[in-house]
Structure 1
Amino acid sequence: MDEGMRKEWPGDLDPKLNYSKGQKPLHEYLRDNARLNPEKVAIIWYGREITYKELDDLSEGFATYLSKSGVKKGEHVALFLSNSPQYFIAHYGIQKIGAVVGPCSPLFKEWELEYQLNDMQAKVIVAVDSVYDVIAKVQSKTKIEQIILTSYSDFLPEKPTLNVPEEFFQPKPVISGVQDMLTVIKGVEALNSVVEVDMEDVSLLIYTSGTTGKPKGAMLTYKNALFKAAAVSQSSSIMAEDVLLTVVPLYHIAGMLLGVNCPIYANASIVLLYRFDPIVVLQAIDLYKCTWWYSVAPMNIAVMQVKNAGVYNFTSLKTCRATSFGITLNQEIAQKWAEFTGGCGLCEGAYGLSETHTADTFMPSKAVKWGTQGIPNYETKMKIIDPETGKERPSGEMGEIVISNPGVFMGYWNKPKETTQTLSNGWVYTGDMGILDEDNYLTFCGRFKEMIKVSGYSVFPEEVEAMLIRYEGIAQVAVTGISDAQKGEVVKAYVVVKPDQRANITAEKIIEWAKQKMAPYKVPRLVEFRESLPATGAGKVLRRLLKEEQ
Structure 2
Amino acid sequence: MNVASIFAHMPGDRPCLLFDGATQSYAQVRARAAGVRARLLAEGVGRGDFVALVLPNGPEFVASYLGVLSLGAVAVCINPMLAEVETAFILADSACRLALAQGDVAARLSLNGLPVLDAGIGPAPGTWASEEVPDDHPAVIVYSSGTSGRPKGVMLSHGNVAFTARSKVRYMRVTGADRLLLFLPLHHCFGQNAILLPGLFAGASVVLQRRFDRAAVLQSLRTDGVTMVFGVPTTFLALEGRITPADCPAVRYWFSAAAPLPLEVEERWQQHMGLPIHQGYGQTECSPFATYNHIHSLRRGKVGTAINGVELRIVDPADGRDLPAGEAGEIVLRGPNVMLGYLNRPEDTAKAIRQGWLHTGDIGRLDAEGYLSVEDRLTDLIIVGGRNVYPAEVENALYAHPAVAEVAVYGVSDPFLGEEVWANVVLKPSVSVDAQELEAVCRRSLAAYKVPTAFVFVDALPRNPTGKILKRELRAAARPVAQDPARRERGSELDSSRLESWVRDWLGRHLNLSPGAIERDRAFAEYGLDSVLGVALARELAAPLGRSVDLTLVWEASTLAGLLARLREAGAASAGACAVPAAT
- Classify the TM-score, shorter chain: 0.7 to 0.9
- Structure 1: tracts of 5 or more residues without a match: 1-23, 149-179
Counterparts in 2 of 1:31-430, with a 5 A limit? 31-33=8-10, 37-132=11-106, 135=109, 139-140=111-112, 145-148=114-117, 180-182=118-120, 184-185=121-122, 192-306=128-242, 313-323=247-257, 325=259, 328-330=261-263, 333-334=265-266, 336-338=268-270, 340-341=272-273, 343-347=274-278, 349-430=279-360
Instruction: Give a deviation string over 1:174-227, Cα, whole Å, max 9, x none.
Output: xxxxxx333x435x6667444332221001111111122221111110010000
Displacement, 1:41?
A: 0.3
Answer yes or no: is the 8 Å Cα contact 1:79–1:103 preserved in 2: yes
Displacement, 1:315?
A: 2.1
Displacement, 1:270?
A: 1.0
Answer yes or no: is the 8 Å Cα contact 2:160–2:337 preserved in 1: yes
Q: Which amino acid aligns with 2:294?
A: P
Which one has a larger percent helix, Structure 1 or Structure 2? 2
Q: Which amino acid aligns with 1:42?
A: C
Which structure exhibits the higher relative contact order, with contacts defined as CA atoms closer than 8 Å and separated by 6 or more residues? 1
Query: What does residue 484 of structure 1 align with?
Result: 414
Displacement, 1:374?
A: 0.7
Instruction: Give a deviation string over 1:110-161, Cα, whole Å, max 9, x none.
Output: 222121111111132222324346536xx53xxx52123xxxxxxxxxxxxx
Bigger Rg, which one: 2
Q: Which amino acid aligns with 1:276?
A: F
Query: What does residue 542 of structure 1 align with?
Result: 470
- Aligned pair in 2 of structure 1 residues 509, 131: CA closer, same or farther (>3 Å)? farther
Answer yes or no: is the 8 Å Cα contact 2:182–2:207 preserved in 1: yes
Answer yes or no: is the 8 Å Cα contact 1:317–1:344 preserved in 2: no
Displacement, 1:464?
A: 1.3
- Aligned pair in 2 of structure 1 residues 135, 515: CA closer, same or farther (>3 Å)? farther
Q: Which amino acid aligns with 2:65?
A: H
- Aligned pair in 2 of structure 1 residues 543, 439: CA closer, same or farther (>3 Å)? same
Distance in 1, matches of 2:382 and 2:288, equals 26
Greater CA drift, 485-494 or 513-522? 513-522
Answer yes or no: is the 8 Å Cα contact 1:64–1:190 preserved in 2: no
Instruction: Give a deviation string over 1:511-537, Cα, whole Å, max 9, x none.
Output: 343233321111111122333222121
Question: Which secondary structure does the structure 1 equivalent of 2:280 belong to?
Answer: coil
Answer yes or no: is the 8 Å Cα contact 1:479–1:492 preserved in 2: yes
Greater CA drift, 196-205 or 540-549? 540-549
- Aligned pair in 2 of structure 1 residues 222, 273: CA closer, same or farther (>3 Å)? same
- Aligned pair in 2 of structure 1 residues 339, 445: CA closer, same or farther (>3 Å)? closer
- Aligned pair in 2 of structure 1 residues 130, 505: CA closer, same or farther (>3 Å)? farther
1:522 aligned to 423, 446, 450, which one?
450
Could you tell me the percent identity over the aligned residues?
29
Q: Which amino acid aligns with 2:451?
A: V
1:443 aligned to 370, 373, 379, which one?
373
Question: Which secondary structure does the structure 2 equivalent of 1:350 belong to?
Answer: strand
Question: Which secondary structure does the structure 1 equivalent of 2:442 belong to?
Answer: helix
Answer yes or no: is the 8 Å Cα contact 2:328–2:364 preserved in 1: yes
Q: Which amino acid aligns with 2:403?
A: G
Displacement, 1:273?
A: 1.2
- Structure 2: tracts of 5 or more residues without a match: 480-584
Distance in 2, matches of 1:133 and 1:520, equals 55
Distance in 2, matches of 1:314 and 1:385, equals 42
Answer yes or no: is the 8 Å Cα contact 2:194–2:288 preserved in 1: no
Q: Which amino acid aligns with 2:443?
A: K
Distance in 1, matches of 2:461 and 2:126, equals 45
Instruction: Give a deviation string over 1:479-527, Cα, whole Å, max 9, x none.
Output: 22112232121111122223322xx233344334323332111111112
Question: Which secondary structure does the structure 2 equivalent of 1:285 belong to?
Answer: helix
Displacement, 1:247?
A: 1.6
- Aligned pair in 2 of structure 1 residues 310, 545: CA closer, same or farther (>3 Å)? closer
Distance in 1, matches of 2:104 and 2:405, equals 31
Distance in 1, matches of 2:206 and 2:181, equals 6
- Aligned pair in 2 of structure 1 residues 208, 126: CA closer, same or farther (>3 Å)? same
Greater CA drift, 510-519 or 92-101? 510-519
Query: What does residue 28 of structure 1 align with?
Result: 5
Q: Which amino acid aligns with 1:70?
A: G
Q: Which amino acid aligns with 2:61?
A: Y
What TM-score comes out, normalization by structure 1 length?
0.82
Distance in 2, matches of 1:260 and 1:45, equals 13
Displacement, 1:311?
A: 10
Instruction: Give a deviation string over 1:249-297, Cα, whole Å, max 9, x none.
Output: 1112111123321011111111111111223223222222211111223
Q: Which amino acid aligns with 1:242?
A: D
Distance in 1, matches of 2:299 and 2:439, equals 30
Answer yes or no: is the 8 Å Cα contact 2:293–2:305 preserved in 1: yes
What TM-score comes out, normalization by structure 2 length?
0.78
How many residue pairs match? The answer is: 478
Query: What does residue 425 of structure 2 align with?
Result: 495
Displacement, 1:338?
A: 4.7
Greater CA drift, 433-442 or 119-128? 119-128
Distance in 2, matches of 1:333 and 1:226, equals 32
